Amino acid sequence: MTVTPVKNTEDPRVKRTRQLLRQAFDALLAEKPFEAISVQDITERATVNRGTFYAHYQDKFDLADRAAREVFQRHLTGTVQVTSPLTEDTLQRLCLAVFDFLVKTYGHCKLDRQLEALLERAMYEVLSGFIADWLGQDTRDTRARRPTLAITAQTISSAFIGAGLRWIRDQRTCPAAELAQQIVAILAPGVLDGARRLQ
């Protein structure tokens, strides 16, 4: 039986190769739709062979998914620290971070249905995890409260991402800050009260 070696993601060569592949993929996305991009296109642009690509990613969907999750996670943590207190202000900042990410992504990439569905799922899962960590930071016996944390995190994520996507598709008819304020005004009473009860 052959065992596939696990890549050491801290190895500088691994990081460099992944960076080349992601830069190539990112450049191609600015030029044509996701469905028109092949692994061959990515490897040619990155000047690596197909074997190297498959040593790091299963396919272009895997590359897109992992890249989206990592970039979005960095974007969120650069805006709101999970150690910040949960307030209307921090909820608004988090909502605006989601909108900002959507603006940058939709403005840069040629999104087709495949990539849009992949991106939405990745954003939803990353944001839900981020919010659950944030809400659970000061709770005791988090395991017992995990279902409530998960439901609250999923509700906030759905509201932020759903409203952000509608706002993008409607050509951003109102300022992002105004929309974020409206969404948080609806969510905050229940979220803040629920968070207090979890503590």
User: pLDDT tens track of the chain, all 199 residues?
Assistant: 333 444 555 678 888 999 999 999 999 998 998 999 999 999 999 999 999 999 999 999 999 999 999 999 999 999 888 788 888 899 999 999 999 999 988 877 767 888 889 999 999 999 999 998 888 765 455 555 566 778 888 999 999 999 999 999 888 889 999 999 999 999 888 776 665 555 5
The model's pTM is 0.83
CA–CA distance, 29 with 36 (Å, rounded to integer): 9
Q: Give which of 197, 98, 53, 74 is closest to 139, Cα–Cα.
A: 197
Name the one residue in this structure whose structure tokens are 């062979």: 49
Task: Give the chain's length.
Answer: 199
Check: CB of residue 30 under 8 Å from CB of residue 109: yes
55 burial via Cβ count (<10 Å: 0-12, 13-18, 19+)? middle
